[in-house]
């Protein structure tokens, strides 16, 4: 109950977004007196509520309301030159140390390249100079550019701002110069981080011995043992996620509990007494949780194991609910921001559901799991005893899996808009496999410590086959029909009959989504990183499970590199220009790779040329896409010059999609004399043959222009003549680098455009 009260206090303080005032502190003392006087848990409710409100308010003051952040928000959005004096600590990404970054705890700050240092306490993320390594604890002087984390640019995208503030750092420094001012020999935090990294390296080498040539299997084992999921690759992680077994693939409370069970068997076999066994288990599980990144689920499991084993050691009764509440109080006392992490919420809610639901469900299955009530136990055969044991294990696993699935369902819907029914079955197989794998990993580590290399290699070889079986099983479960379903949980008024989203993708990428009633169409896919970071979160946010068609403008990987991933969303048709795939393209190009998944002459792949139309039908709305370029007789070596140029007729709104058309393509469009008039013009950047001719802009006569842009590369920036024409004609220009992605809602009255990041809105009346 006190854990729930603490959660409520943190939520209230976060909703108010206020720092603790004098009145709050004035109430704390009498609340504390009431708790000490009555000596009952209910008497501690006022103090717990007020204390965690004050604590989280103070944490908000250190992050969201920090003066440094407020000053940066009040000035133009560009980096500021600063000088810092700060203690540097290694940066860990999950469980892995990143040598290119560090965490700086600032003590003094200087604005600009000169002047005096002023006292300031803050935590920031530092990107270290190339080749510079953090090897010594101490105070450093840092010169570089200070900036705030960039907000998300597309709907459903990961929010770097909230993530950084919840993790305690408020800004980012791109360091140009780092010098040690004063070394410090005594720095427990610094040395613990490097000890954890050294431990991870030793475990990695121990678990890799003998299976160095099996990179995929080794990566899965390291992801399970250490949380190093990046090495396994996105495809394997997707298989575990889509099968509802991601908690097995990454370090979680399940791994900590399994480790404790293995340790208990091993230490009992060695003949250690209860006192030493409990001490060793508690010490090792806490060390393991710290080495693997101190994830909320692992930390919670370590605390609960310590509580349960401590109760056994001192002959006290342990209670799951009380243990869970104590872990909540301790972890929130350590960092109240953890409450807003999905991992923290899932860890506690799932265990709470298991504690409350699994036992009653198991009780209802006793008729099936126990021996026949009319059969005396002494007369039961060994086959009947074995059958009872198997039924008990299966029932316990099934009830636990169902309870965990029910407990996680509200959060998976709220955070990820996803339901994974197949997880109920997948966990029945993969959880025992993961438990056996952890036991084999412990054998390998013990053998490594004892110098028994043959046993170590045998254990790793067996573990590699277990990992291979887990990956194949997860992929099979994930591929079942209805394995995971994304739901649209946006409780809004009825959506317009047609919508369009022009995404912001970095590095010259481009993609757009068109919805006509319940049909979904994609124009380009971006590259694979863009798909995973932008498009897939958007589909999940919108509840989109399948695409009806994908239009691929040209063979630039920044535009169509993720085409093979798009083909996995249902069975969409693929539309390209009549010139693709280009006969001279090498085998590794995007369209050549796509031909391995879709037959170029089949019904899925459709080639189009100027003059062709593709209907985009819907029950209550009709839309068409007309191809304006190229013709089958065109011959261009550069893919940007072969790109599809399309006119979308969405109701009474016309959208001209130029893509990366350059000077040559725009000249051809003007020479052919087609109707280029549009309401919205969407354009990209040709790398060597810049487009945006004034003649084409006059012919198109757009009411709004949307353009990709990337200021890091000169060839990807919007041409100045486009900016000047829009300014002279009073045409609103959405620069995707500034506005973020642009959503277009289309009704019979017209179209409403809105920049996701800038919030700028424009309404275009429908054409007569």
**pLDDT band at residue 710, thresholds of 50, 70 and 90?**
confident
Closest by Cα among 650, 625, 647 to 497: 650
- Residue pair 730/711 in contact (Cβ under 8 Å)? The answer is no
> Which residues touch 168 (CB under 8 Å, ≥6 apart)?
62, 63, 123, 335, 337
Query: Does the pLDDT of residue 143 top 90, yes or no?
Result: yes
pLDDT value of residue 504 = 95
Query: Does the pLDDT of residue 174 top 90, yes or no?
Result: yes
Query: Does the pLDDT of residue 311 top 80, yes or no?
Result: no
Query: Does the pLDDT of residue 252 top 80, yes or no?
Result: no
284-303 pLDDT tens trace: 888 888 888 777 778 878 88
Phi, psi of 711, deg, nearest 5: -65, -10
For the segment 162-172, the average pLDDT, to the nearest whole number, is: 91
Of 196-205, 227-236, 252-261, 473-482, the poorest mean pLDDT is in 227-236
720-734 pLDDT tens trace: 999 999 999 999 999
| Residues forming a β-bridge with 145 | 81, 174
Prediction pTM value: 0.86
Query: Does the pLDDT of residue 528 top 80, yes or no?
Result: yes
For residue 506, give the DSSP letter: S
Q: Kindly give the pairing relationship between strand 680-683 and strand 653-659.
A: parallel
For residue 518, give the DSSP letter: T
- Residue pair 106/123 in contact (Cβ under 8 Å)? The answer is yes
Query: Does the pLDDT of residue 141 top 80, yes or no?
Result: yes
**pLDDT band at residue 343, thresholds of 50, 70 and 90?**
confident
H helix and E strand count, the chain: 28, 23
Q: Which residue has the tokens 């091993």?
A: 266
Segment of 244-258, 321-335, 535-549 carrying the highest mean pLDDT: 535-549
Q: 391: burial class by Cβ within 10 Å (0-12, 13-18, 19+)?
A: middle
Cis omega (within 30 of 0) for bond into 581: yes
Closest by Cα among 247, 212, 210 to 229: 247
Query: Does the pLDDT of residue 124 top 80, yes or no?
Result: yes
**pLDDT band at residue 11, thresholds of 50, 70 and 90?**
very high
Percent of the chain with pLDDT over 70: 96
Mean pLDDT of the chain: 87
- Residue pair 256/283 in contact (Cβ under 8 Å)? The answer is no
CA distance 603 to 601: 7
pLDDT value of residue 491 = 66
pLDDT value of residue 412 = 84
581-607 pLDDT tens trace: 877 777 777 787 787 777 666 668 888
Query: Does the pLDDT of residue 424 top 90, yes or no?
Result: no
Query: Does the pLDDT of residue 684 top 70, yes or no?
Result: yes
More confident residue, 376 or 665: 665
pLDDT value of residue 450 = 86
pLDDT value of residue 724 = 93
């Amino acid at each position: 109950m006190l854990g729930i009260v603490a959660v409520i206090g943190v939520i209230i303080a976060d909703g108010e977004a206020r720092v603790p005032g004098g009145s709050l502190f004035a109430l704390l003392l009498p609340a504390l007196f009431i708790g000490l006087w009555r000596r009952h848990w209910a008497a501690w409710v006022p103090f717990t509520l007020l204390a965690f409100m004050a604590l989280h308010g103070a944490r908000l003051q250190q992050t969201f309301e920090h003066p440094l952040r407020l000053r940066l928000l009040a000035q133009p959005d560009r980096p500021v030159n600063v000088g810092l004096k700060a203690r540097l600590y290694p940066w860990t990404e999950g469980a892995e140390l990143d040598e290119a970054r560090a965490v700086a705890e600032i003590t003094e700050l200087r604005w600009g390249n000169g002047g005096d240092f002023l006292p300031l306490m803050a935590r920031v993320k530092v990107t270290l100079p190339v080749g510079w390594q953090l090897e010594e604890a101490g105070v450093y002087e840092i010169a570089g550019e200070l900036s705030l984390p960039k907000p998300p640019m597309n709907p459903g995208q990961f929010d770097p701002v909230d993530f950084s503030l919840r993790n305690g750092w408020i800004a980012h420094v791109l360091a140009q110069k780092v010098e040690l001012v004063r070394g410090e020999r005594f720095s427990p935090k610094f040395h613990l981080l490097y000890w954890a990294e050294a431990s991870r390296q030793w475990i990695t080498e121990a678990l890799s011995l003998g299976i160095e040539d099996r990179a995929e299997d080794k990566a899965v084992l390291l992801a399970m043992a250490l949380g190093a999921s990046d090495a396994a690759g996105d495809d394997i992680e997707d298989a575990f996620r889509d099968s509802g077994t991601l908690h097995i693939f990454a370090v979680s409370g399940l791994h900590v509990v399994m480790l404790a069970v293995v340790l208990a068997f091993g230490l009992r076999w060695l003949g250690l007494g209860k006192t030493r066994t409990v001490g060793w288990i508690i010490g090792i599980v806490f060390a393991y949780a710290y080495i693997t990144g101190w994830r909320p689920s692992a930390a919670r499991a370590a605390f609960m194991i310590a509580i349960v084993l401590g109760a056994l050691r001192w002959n006290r009764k342990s209670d799951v609910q009380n243990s869970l509440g104590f872990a909540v109080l301790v972890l929130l006392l350590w960092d109240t921001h953890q409450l807003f992490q999905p991992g923290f919420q899932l860890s506690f809610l799932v265990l709470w559901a298991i504690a409350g639901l699994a036992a009653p469900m198991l009780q209802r299955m006793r008729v099936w799991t126990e021996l026949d009530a009319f059969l005396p136990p002494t007369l039961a055969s060994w086959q009947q005893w074995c059958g009872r044991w198997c039924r008990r294990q299966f029932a316990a696993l099934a009830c636990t899996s169902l309870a965990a699935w029910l407990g996680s369902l509200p959060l998976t819907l709220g955070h990820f808009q996803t339901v994974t029914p197949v997880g109920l079955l997948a966990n029945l197989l993969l959880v025992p496999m993961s438990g056996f794998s952890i036991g084999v990993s412990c054998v390998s580590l013990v053998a490594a410590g004892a110098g028994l290399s043959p046993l170590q290699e045998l254990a790793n070889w067996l573990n590699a086959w277990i990992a291979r079986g887990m990956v194949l099983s997860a992929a099979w479960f994930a591929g079942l029909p209805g394995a995971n379903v994304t739901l649209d949980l946006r409780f809004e008024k009825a959506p317009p009959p047609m919508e369009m989203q022009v995404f912001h993708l970095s590095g010259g990428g481009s993609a757009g989504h068109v919805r006509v009633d319940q049909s979904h169409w994609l124009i380009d896919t971006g590259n694979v990183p863009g798909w995973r970071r932008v498009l897939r979160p958007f589909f999940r946010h919108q509840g989109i499970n399948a695409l009806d068609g994908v239009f691929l403008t040209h063979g630039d990987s920044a535009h169509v590199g993720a085409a093979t991933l798009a083909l996995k969303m249902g069975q969409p048709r693929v539309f390209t220009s009549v010139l693709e795939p280009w006969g001279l393209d090498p085998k590794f190009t995007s369209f050549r790779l796509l031909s391995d998944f879709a037959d170029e002459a089949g019904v899925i792949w459709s080639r189009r040329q100027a003059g062709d139309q593709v209907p985009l039908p819907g029950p209550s709305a009709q839309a068409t896409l007309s191809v304006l370029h190229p013709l089958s007789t065109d011959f261009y070596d550069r893919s940007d010059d072969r790109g599809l140029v399309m006119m979308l007729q969405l109701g009474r709104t016309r959208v001209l999609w130029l893509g990366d058309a350059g000077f040559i393509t725009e000249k051809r469009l003007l020479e052919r004399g087609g109707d280029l008039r549009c309401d919205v013009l969407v354009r990209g950047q040709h790398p060597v043959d810049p487009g945006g001719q004034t003649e084409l802009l006059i012919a198109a006569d757009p009411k709004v222009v949307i353009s990709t842009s990337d200021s890091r590369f000169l060839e990807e920036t919007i041409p100045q003549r486009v900016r000047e024409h829009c300014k002279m004609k009073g045409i609103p220009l959405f620069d995707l680098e500034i506005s973020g992605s642009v959503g277009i809602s289309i009704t019979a009255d017209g179209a409403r455009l809105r920049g996701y990041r800038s919030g700028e809105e424009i309404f275009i009346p429908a054409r007569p």
